[in-house]
Structure 1
């Protein structure tokens, strides 16, 4: 799929997110990389073979309120 020199990382490599952007739609929350990987705003991914990579962003801190 990639025609860049040097070639972008493949979709099954550990550094797949380093591939070049082909399409970027921040209003919809996703981007398509040259290697066929769909990146989502929540850091989740959809690989070309249909495999889903769960989001990796840290959970937001929650505040615990205790009664005095």
Structure 2
């Protein structure tokens, strides 16, 4: 049984030498970033009055 422990310890040492250690954990508050939204007129924003320009309907395209 001691032979298995030394083999496991040697394998662990070999793994540690090859891969090193795991990176440090990142806290949740470091994963998020709060950014203020740009005031109106942002490209790609939703405009309910101008959305009709981009409406696509297959039936209309086929003339049905």
Q: TM-score, normalised by structure 2?
A: 0.23
Query: Which structure has the higher relative contact order (CA within 8 Å, separation 6+)?
Result: 1
- The structure in which a higher percent of residues are helix is 2
**Greater percentage in strand:** 1
Query: Which is higher, the Rg of structure 1 or of structure 2?
Result: 2
